[in-house]
Amino acid sequence: MNLEQILFTQGFGHRRVCAGLVAAGAVRIGGRVVDDPGADFETAGLEFEVDGMAWSFRLPALLMLHKPAGYECSKKPRHHPSVMSLLPAPLRHRGVQPVGRLDEDTTGLLLFTDDGQLIHRLTSPKHHVPKVYQVTARHPVSDAQLQRLRDGVVLDDDPAPVAALAAERTGESSLALTLAEGRYHQVKRMLAAVGNRCEGLHRSHFGALALPADLAAGRWRWVDQAVC
């Protein structure tokens, strides 16, 4: 693939902008400036720099973000900043989207991609991709509450019971809840349905992915393994 096309696919601007970046000497590959927009490169494993910013070629893009509290999973947020503001401009320009949503006060693992089919596969209830949430409850969590969560509770928007794949106590007033769906405020409403209240919520796993301990809140990194 030629260098102009490489930059274009990675979100560095329209073709003319990308060609201009190359011609201006803003692109380095292997430590040397490449100023020919038509120069061809093998894209597999390609690492390069644009205006000093290191970049890895990814097509499609799949990345994870450690979402902090106080951010909305929307491109047009109403009350808080968008999670998109935590990503570099090329990712925003190429159209990556959150895979599902986390509430503004929920923290943890949030995936992004520009692959529409992957978004559907990871968010469709029929594919049963598990997500694990670490929940802090207002009141002590009883064995009876855990069992009700596993058996299924009825939410106010659907008469069919919604059950957790797993519900395990992690402390007197905390639990790990595994779900295969992603309904609006689902964890909070499930806790309320068993007579408790969600005071804090953090997603630690999405499918086969776990939020790395060394990924600080507000930071992102590429995902190179299968999600499910």
For residue 40, indicate whether it is catalytic: no
Q: Provide φ and ψ at 201, rounded to 5°.
A: -145, 130
Which residues, listed in sequence order, are joined to residue 136 by a DSSP beta bridge?
174, 200
CA distance linking residue 133 with residue 177, whole number of Å: 5
**CA–CA gap between residue 188 and residue 196 (Å, rounded):** 9
Which one is catalytic: 36, 40, 103, 214? 103
Contact (CB, 8 A) for 137 and 173:
yes
Closest CA to 55 of 16, 82, 18, 108: 18
Q: Give dist(CA 167, CA 146) in Å, integer.
A: 6
DSSP summary character for residue 145: H
Determine the Cα–Cα distance for residues 60 and 118; give it in Å rounded to an integer.
10
Furthest-apart CA pair in the chain: how many Å?
Answer: 68
Assess contact for 60 and 118: CB atoms under 8 A: yes
Closest CA to 221 of 65, 56, 96: 65
Paired tokens of 177: 């809840």
CB-based contact 119:99 (threshold 8 Å): yes
Would you name the residues annotated as active-site residues? 103
